[in-house]
Amino acid sequence: MKQAIWKFNLKVADRQVLKAPPMIPLTVQLQYGMPCLWAIVSVDEAEIEMPIIMRGTGWETDSEKLDMATKLRYLGTVQVNGFVWHYFW
């Protein structure tokens, strides 16, 4: 299985979908002021859709939509223009 580290630009948006081969997330950090996800990608495998969820500090959440403890994996936190954004998948 061929693998590589890829970068994915992320939006500052409640929800987004990445289309990419299966991956192992490494980190979410800012690059040039924009949130990015770096991940080890299985290059030879078919693309799948991966929902990404973003929440701000202090935001209330609907437990059915965002159950951080059991359903979603934490990817990372970034600070953009004074706001703090937390990314999950």
pLDDT, the chain, mean: 91
CA atoms within 13 A on the CB side of 10: 32
What pairs with residue 16 in β-bridges?
52
pLDDT at 42 over 70: yes
pLDDT tens profile 67-87: 555 578 999 999 999 999 999
pTM value surpassing 0.85: yes
CB 65 within 8 A of CB 72: no
Contacts of 46 (CB under 8 A, 6+ apart): 21
CA separation, residue 5 to residues 1, 21, 56, 67 (Å): 13, 11, 27, 28
